[in-house]
Amino acid sequence: MEFENIYKTYWDRIFRLCMGFVNDYDVAQDLAQETFIIVWQKLDTFRNESSIGTWIFRIASNNCLRQIEKEKRFPKSELSMNIMEEKQQSFEPQIQFLYQCIAELPETDRIIISLELEDVKQAEIAKIVGLSEANTRVKIHRIKEKLTQKFKENGQ
């Protein structure tokens, strides 16, 4: 598959996945861009052992996890938090609240639900996160229940 087609096919999905992780528009843009730089650099090493989408989602997930680790070591300043909040006003309130709820989940749950929201098959999600399909199904169900509960508590 040609890089340009891969980029066009997966950009929006990878960006939304990154948003689910970091809940910050600019950082998500950067992470998605970094993901595609890695894809471009390593495309010739892709061995078709999984679908190209699974491979790209795995790269994006690892990239996001590295970013989260960096943030734990170097917390954001208050100034950047204010800028981030202003940027997110551009999202619809319900979507903004959804990203906020997802960002509060444990890391593995964030990966799982972000991939589920991108309509990645549960078998593929299981491969990406290294769980059995049955365990992945249970986790997805529990995460959806948690998110539904948060929406109810927030009156949405």
Q: How far apart are CA 118 and CA 126, in angstroms?
A: 14
| Structural domain of 43 | 3-153
In this prediction the pTM is: 0.64
CA end-to-end span of the chain, whole Å?
42
Q: How far apart are CA 12 and CA 59, in angstroms?
A: 15
Alpha helices in the chain (DSSP H): 3-22, 25-42, 52-73, 78-88, 93-103, 107-117, 122-129, 133-153
Q: What is the pLDDT of residues 9-43, one digit of tens each?
A: 999 999 988 888 888 888 899 999 999 999 999 99
Q: CATH number of the domain at 80, please.
A: 1.20.140
Q: What is the pLDDT of residues 68-125, one digit of tens each?
A: 777 766 655 444 444 445 554 556 777 788 888 888 888 889 889 988 888 888 998 8
CB atoms within 10 A of CB 64: 27
Domain count across the chain: 1
